[in-house]
Structure 1
Amino acid sequence: MDADALARSAQNPIAAMISVPFQNNTNFNYGPNGHTQNILNIQPVVPFRVNEDWNVITRTILPVISQPSFAPGEDSTFGLGAVQFSTFLSPAQAGRVIWGAGAVVQAPTTTDSALGSNVWGGGPTFVALTMAGPWVLGGLVNNIWSFGGEERNRYNNFTFQPFINYNIPQSPGTYLSFSPLITANWEARSGEQWTVPVGLGAGQIFRIGAQPVNALAGAYYNVVRPDIGPEWQLRFQLQLLFPR
């Protein structure tokens, strides 16, 4: 695959290609004291061919979190957050609209109560996109409900990630990306539920020896956020690509 084809596949969350993204998100002015939070998401994507008509694409998100203290005298916390595992059933032969539908499960893998809930959860997930000329346009959505647990560990979280990518024709493998992570915590009180970022990133396909790599950097400002939510975010990603 040439650089342009690799870039388009990397921008497709349900491409029939193994990839391992390492996405680092640094959140600034986070918490009541305006400290910095850092989350490294390790996100392997592994497709499986069911038959000539259908693929199953699995996507795992393993968050490694550095959480600042929320009160004087408290220490910061470092550890593993809740792992999310998604499966998408998707047509093997892509049409004008590429889509996948399935389920997402959240596992209670948190190593500290400050890093998330310790109960299982799950819900539906869906992704759709289209490729038109240099553009890749689409979105991924899910909602995860907790399965029981004490009130302080319950959650009901919505995630929507639109993505608009422009692949620069004059420079194959180079692209601009708008892919904010819009979230809602339905358990929070009114006015504290939504986080809505706005920003832009830029990416480049390159090779380390024979290994193709997708590099992406971007910055996002949260125009809507909870009182203790971060004000803005820097995102850096290195994605190892394993085309067939």
Structure 2
Amino acid sequence: MRNRKLEILLSLMLCSVFCNSQAFADDADLAKQLSNPVANLVSVPFQFNYDENIGAAENIERYQLNIQPVIPIELNENWNLISRTVLPVTYQVYNESNLEDDWGVGDIVQSLFFSPSKTSESGITWGVGPAILLPTASEKTLGADQYGLGPTFVILKQTHGWTVGALANHIWGVEHDDDVDAISSTFVQPFVSYTYPNSTTVGLNTETTYDWNSEEATMPVNLTVTKVINLNGQLISVGAGARYWADDHDASPKGWGARLIASFVFPKK
């Protein structure tokens, strides 16, 4: 039954990539900008993830929609401030259990990158700033129930259609209950992608999270295909992908999962 659900999701993802697309003169350039986390481009990505085999009994399924608006702010002619927000909305199903399903919003992670407005002569783009954890979860099972703060950093290079880089952050708990450990978590996301002239982008990344309190890590490997389309004048990068949990622990997903992506793009006039 679970495999059947995964097959249906993958079919929907492939359709989302290759159906109803229209040509647009600057599609390939926009696709390359979307591969850059600190591009001077307003976008609102919606990233849907399906994972299963969660928990020690491997009886939990998770449907999670990450809403990730990216807003660049021009500080002056040399520097931009890039605001990247991640708001997860989660529906969690406890199969073969007396527990009721959980659903609601999770904790917001707000990142602010100070980034040079011009790419260096070597083609390197980078950004650095704070990452802030806000305890906005509607259910305790969906968040850390504490504020967090730490540094974040991104560096990448784009050349001949290729984008290669990495994004990382570390968050420490700064306000929490006395009977709860302050979080101490490192996130590292190396990524590589190639954008074709028709605006199709094939991307590969890993999303490693290491918990310094439990000394445990998770690492899903994601392979995605996206394409910029023009839908009644609105530019959208739609895509699909599969993910495999190469490293996991009792509480995390295991095995295969799936990803759907729809990024609404608002280029400057």
TM-score class, shorter: over 0.9
**2:209 equivalent among 175, 183, 208:** 183
Deviation at 1:29, TM superposition (A): 1.1
Contact 1:99 1:129 in 2 (8 A): yes
C-alpha deviation, 1:70, in angstroms: 8.7
Q: Is the 8 A contact 2:54 2:250 kept in 1?
A: no
* Residue aligned with 1:147, SS: strand
The amino acid of 1:12's aligned partner reads: N
Give 1:163-202 correspondences, 5 Å limit.
163-169=191-197, 172-188=198-214, 190=215, 193-202=216-225
Q: Secondary structure at the match of 1:114?
A: helix
Provide the C-alpha distance between the structure 1 equivalents of 2:144 and 2:162, rounded to a whole number of angstroms: 38
Partner SS state of residue 72, structure 1:
coil
1:113 to 123, 140, 160: 140
Q: How does 1:215-230 map to 2 (within 5 A)?
A: 215-230=238-253
- 1:72: how far off? 3.2
The ranges of structure 1 where at least 4 consecutive aligned residues each deviate by more than 4 angstroms after the TM superposition are none
1:15 maps to which of 8, 24, 39: 39
Structure 1 unmatched ranges of 5 or more: none
Question: Is the 1:32–1:70 Cα contact (8 Å) retained in structure 2?
Answer: no
Paired position in structure 1 for 2:93: 68
Q: Secondary structure of 1:8's match?
A: helix
Q: Which amino acid aligns with 1:66?
A: Y
**In 2 relative to 1, CA 61–3 (structure 1 residues): closer, same or farther, beyond 3 Å?**
same
Tell me which amino acid in the other structure corresponds to 1:144.
I
TM-superposition CA deviations, 1:151-179 (whole Å, max 9, x none): 4363111111111101124xx20121102
- Structure with higher helix content: 2
Aligned to 1:136: 163
CA distance in 2, matches of 1:100, 1:233: 30
Residues 102-153 of structure 1: CA deviation (Å, up to 9, x unaligned): 0011111111111111111010000011012120111110011111323436
Q: Alignment RMSD, CA only?
A: 1.6
Contact 1:126 1:141 in 2 (8 A): yes
Report Cα offsets for 1:18-70 as digits up to 9, x if no partner. 10000011112112332211111100000100001000000111110112349
Q: 1:125 aligns with which of 152, 170, 174?
A: 152
Secondary structure of the residue aligned to 2:180 is helix
Structure 1 distance, partners of 2:250, 2:137, is 24
Residue 210 (str. 1) matches residue 233 (str. 2): yes
TM-superposed deviation, 1:199 = 4.0
Q: Deviations over 1:178-217 (max 9, x none)?
A: 02211111121x4xx1112234111111111211111121
Mapped partners of 1:130, 1:40: distance in 2: 29
For 1:98 and 1:202, the matched residues in 2 are separated by 23
TM-score by length of 2: 0.85
Inter-partner Cα distance in structure 2 for 1:94 and 1:223:
34
CA–CA separation in structure 1 for the residues paired with 2:33 and 2:79: 18
Structure 2 unaligned regions, length at least 5? 1-24
Which among 77, 80, 83 is matched to residue 102 of structure 2?
A: 77
1:9 and 1:143, CA in 2 relative to 1: closer, same or farther beyond 3 A? same
Among candidates 90, 94, 109, match of residue 115 of structure 2: 90
1:62-81 deviation line (CA, Å, top 9, x unaligned)? 11011234993211110110
From the superposition, tell whether residues 70 and 117 of structure 1 become closer, same or farther in structure 2 (CA, over 3 Å).
farther
Secondary structure in 1 aligned to 2:136? Answer: coil
